[in-house]
Amino acid sequence: MKTLEELTIKYDVDALDLGYTPYYAKLFDGIREDVTKVLEIGVETGRSHRMWLEYFPNATIYGFDIFESGVDEFHKLQEGNPNLDRSVMFKGDQENVDDLEKFLSLYGDNFDIIIDDGGHTMKQQQITMGVLFQAVKSGGHYIIEDLHTCSGQWSTLYGYQVINEGDTLTTDLLKSIENKDDLIKETNYLTKNVLDYIKDNTISCTTEIGKEHYKSVKGYAYHWPTMLSFMEKK
């Protein structure tokens, strides 16, 4: 089987440039044949979706994306792909609780891995976590990519608002979950009960630096350390 680094190159996935690939490989290389159910929020044309299909040979890979055009383009690119029978696509808005709950009603829980690589706003990250963390199986992982949007250096990125007035930064929220403290009891998007459930059912929560300096995403020339987090479910 190809390594994850080889697959990121094969499918032109930005995880390698962002510095995420070594973390994924370290965590999943030893269990890649045991993983059976993966959800990725944010699909676009499906480059990383196809990567995960090949990397996890026994898993159904679920994709969740707001853009119909991206879902259509993904299916065009998938024509003739022998892994297509292990791919499920769902069109929905990750900051819409009804869409997230509809997804779960259709496809259930017990996910080995859920990856939030969606719109990267505080609202999207926290609403999605609040609904989907419960769907991770015991010992599974909930992952949030591109936490550099929490840096506070800007309120907009990728051409839209990522931090609204009064928002708790998701990185601060994750630190509170890691420490299991009461410094953050609720946010604009997470009730105390939901946040207590997440804290009580998290074995570990770590935030990692991908690359100290990364320039230009989708034409935007910014410099930042890239970041992602890994939460292991109790």
223 is catalytic: no
Set 120, 141, 148, 213: catalytic member: 120
CA dist., res. 219 & res. 52, Å (int) = 26
For the annotated catalytic residues, the residue numbers are 120
